[in-house]
Chains A and B, each alone.
Chain A
Amino acid sequence: MQTDERLPQLTAVEKPRWYRDVRVLRVIIQVVIVGGVVAIAAFFIGNMIANMQRLGISLGLDYLTQPAEFTIPGSDFERTGTRLEAVLVGVGNTFRIAIAGIFFATILGVLLGIARLSKNWLVSTGARLYVEFFRNIPVLVIIIFAYLVVFLEPRIFPRFENAREIGPFIIYVRGVFFPWYESQANFFPWVVIMLAGVVAGVFVSRWRERVSEKTGASALSLLWGLGTFLAFAVIGFFALGGPASLTIPGFEGQVVVGGIRVSPEYAALLISLVIYTASHIAEITRGSIQAVSKGQQEAATALALSSAQRIRYVILPQAFRVAIPPLANQYLNLTKNSSLAVAIAYYEVTKVTTDIIGNGGPAPQSFLVLMIIYLIISLIIAALSNVVNRRLALVER
């Protein structure tokens, strides 16, 4: 038995040799293993550094301050910008895909998950086929298929000469053009006013909830909140004298001017990632709803809640708690899968890194920087999900 007291004095015969003394052995094993791991790592890193020095490849991060020499489609990045700026543009594009992808994939996935549990045979089988199909196909295949077969298909996205104009939208092979706003003077104050409107809207909707509880009148909190926000936005717009104007896409020679463009690469990547991740989120949703005990459903019915109320107030909140860790996992997967954009020339951070390497940047440092960037993004998503998890955790009695 191990105690912390001093062992009684043993005679020379009874005291175990050091190589049979368990305490010493335990320490020795740990030292040997740590030493071994460090030795292996030092061997590989030392080997790489020695060979890079032999070849004359630079070892530091100075390559980031040199001009990139290439342009990035879809941004104003000049070829004289530094490689670091190029990487930051890439990170911005990764966020664009990740945030939009997470948003749409969650909506689609939750709807599909609920559909799978529907009593309607057609709906549940349809959802099941969707999930079973898309879960089993590699994402890269979906991305390349979406790009080559859908977005480069002349019958859907015609060439410039036959570009489609549907109302204010323009659709052709270079992308889909939407009307968009263009900021004029006083744009930033208007944004501030709108943010104030959001805060005011939240307060108003909470006030309506309290009023409804006291008097029993229907709350309509969402309507009131939205109305407050819109009031702020519209009054602010006219008070500041039109801080933004609408631009409609139109042809000017061979290019389209105005509006905002969704490039076929972005659209193909986003749709593929949403379709793929939604199939996984559907399974998570289904599992988490089925994890809520049947007793809860029966109690809800006994309290005369309609099935929509039952789902909204009893089942989904409990299912949501169970679903958060796997959901966060899927969000991480979506973010990392966005690196497959390398295949279709969408300039998120992995594609920018491979272009930097292709134009003379040192490969080991570039990939190290890339890995650190993904690590930081993943840690942010994981931290956010942990915060949500902790706030919603069921307090056990």
Chain B
Amino acid sequence: MKRLRVLFVLVVAVAMAATACSSTDESLLDTVQSNDSVKCGTRDALPGFAVLGDDGNYTGFDSDFCRVIAAAVLGDAAKVEFVPLETSARFTALQSGEIDVLVRNTTWTGTRDGSEGASFQTVTFYDGQGMMVASDSAYTSVADMDGTTICLVEGTTTQINVVTIFEFEGISLTEALSFADTDLVQEAFIAGRCDGWTSDSSQLVALRSTYPDSAGGPEALTILPDIFSKEPLAPAVTDGDTKWGSAVNWAVMATIQAEEWGITSANVDSFLTSENPDIVRFLGGAEDFDPGLGLPADFAYQVIKQVGNYGEIWEANITPIGIARAGTVNDLWINGGLLYSAPYK
């Protein structure tokens, strides 16, 4: 019996040792190129950012940036596999490798950079958190909302921010109800369960535009002027994969750089023979130039030709829902905004 017990322990030890190590050193960039498809985490019903249409196509700001990444890495903007995710599950999906990149109006925060193991690339949209109330309520700013109930979506920075802003204003928050998705928040708001609905301003504009007419339509809602947090929205990849992170980063920055030079999807071919060597190198015309990013030489050309520059993506998706760009932080740096691309050289 004692011999058998020793045998057992030996077998268990050997089994565990043999299976203990299981890490790969391959970058996601190589995996994506061999799969010939980018798995992009997204959502399915936020007007302006990601909407699943009846024809099965995703349209929106974030969806277009997924296509930008595919065009840069694989040469074809259509090679995207959209994976719709619940807000509370998006980081788990990224950590587990279910998606390659998360382009889902996600805020870049310290906690997400650190303990959630995500790595954020160039910010695509500088947003802030706002509050939306019924137009016929007496609130004109967040400071009026003492003792109110606020509804929001779970798993976002919204929850922490609203508690903090109420503390900062010195007013008390009766309840902050966090629901699993925006449909339930809308139902609760229509029923009067909450006095305020808080989220990123861009989302509030989008959600207001689709507020049902039976509840009063968009005019029944007012977005208060207070912006009470910084919400830089950026694509996210997992920590520890700098090759893939750089590839995503430069794909996104190509759109910003193109707009700076006035290159659009319509006139990009005429820029191939430009006198400016920076532009030629940017579009892949410099024969011997390889920065070692692992991207094809003409990635910027493919991005602009197939999807467009940053301004075109904004015009197609954000302008219809009514968010202004000129003169705000989302404008190019040459116009006083924050969008700035590093030089491709």
Contacts and interface: CB of A to CB of B under 8 A. Distances in A.
Interface of A: 27, 31, 34-36, 38-39, 42-43, 46-47, 50-52, 54-58, 63, 69-71, 73-74, 79, 148, 152-154, 157-160, 173-174, 253-255, 264-265, 342-345, 354-355, 357-360, 362-363
B256 to A, nearest CB: 28
B98 to A, nearest CB: 12
A87 to B, nearest CB: 16
A354 to B, nearest CB: 5
Q: Which 4 A-B pairs have the closest CB atoms?
A: A358-B155, A55-B117, A152-B191, A73-B175
A56 B191 CA distance: 43
B19 A174 contact: no
B68 interface: no
A153 B193 CA distance: 10
B216 interface: no
B198 interface: no
Contact of A70 (B8, B115, B159): B159
Interface string B231-267: 0000000111000000000000000000000000000
A354 B88 contact: yes
A55 B16 contact: no
Contacts of B292: none
Contacts of A344: 179, 184
A50 B117 contact: no
Nearest to B177: A345
A18 B175 CA distance: 72
B147 A71 contact: no
Given A43-B22, A55-B240, A343-B180, A70 B160 contact: yes
B341 interface: no
Interface string B168-204: 0000011111111000100110111100000000000
B192 A39 contact: no
Which range contains the number of B residues in contact with the other chain? 35 or more
B115 A50 contact: no
B15 interface: yes
B240 A54 contact: yes
Contact of A173 (B11, B117, B192): B192
A57 B178 contact: no
Contacts of B149: 73, 174
Nearest to A43: B19
Nearest to A31: B11
Nearest to A363: B92
Interface of A is mostly: helix
Given A42-B15, A47-B22, A55 B148 contact: no
Contacts of B146: 254
A355 B192 CA distance: 23
B239 A56 contact: yes
Contacts of A343: 180, 184
Nearest to B193: A173
B16 A42 contact: yes
B334 interface: no
A159 B11 CA distance: 67
Contacts of B96: 51
B11 A56 contact: no
Given A31-B7, A79-B160, 5 more contacts: A35-B12, A38-B11, A39-B18, A51-B96, A56-B115
Contacts of B179: 344-345
Contact of B239 (A39, A54, A69, A73): A54
B147 A254 contact: yes
B187 A148 contact: yes
B342 interface: no
B192 A360 contact: no
A253 B148 CA distance: 11
B238 A358 contact: no
A344 B115 CA distance: 28
B308 to A, nearest CB: 33
17 contacts: A34-B8, A35-B11, A38-B16, A42-B16, A43-B22, A46-B19, A46-B20, A54-B23, A55-B239, A71-B175, A148-B187, A158-B192, A159-B191, A159-B192, A254-B147, A354-B154, A357-B92
B192 A34 contact: no
Given A39-B18, A57-B116, A58-B115, A355 B11 contact: no
B143 to A, nearest CB: 14
A355 B164 CA distance: 16
Listed residue (A27, A38, A58) with the most chain B CB atoms within 10 angstroms of its CB = A38
B174 A255 contact: yes
Contacts of B21: 46, 50
Listed residue (B115, B146, B156, B193) with the most chain A CB atoms within 10 angstroms of its CB = B193
A65 to B, nearest CB: 13
Contacts of B8: 31, 34
A348 to B, nearest CB: 13
A50 B88 contact: no
B283 to A, nearest CB: 36
Contacts of B19: 39, 42-43, 46
Nearest to A162: B192
Given A31-B11, A55-B117, A345-B178, A255 B147 contact: yes
B111 interface: yes
B324 interface: no
A46 to B, nearest CB: 5
A71 B173 contact: yes
B114 interface: yes
B16 A39 contact: yes
Nearest to B151: A345
A364 B22 CA distance: 18
A358 B154 contact: yes
A163 B190 CA distance: 16
A265 B176 CA distance: 13
Given A42-B19, A57-B95, A362-B115, A254 B88 contact: no
Contacts of A363: 91-92, 95
Contacts of B326: none
Contacts of A34: 8, 11-12
A309 B131 CA distance: 64
Contacts of B174: 73, 255
A69 B15 contact: no
A79 B110 CA distance: 18
Contact of B88 (A74, A264, A357): A357
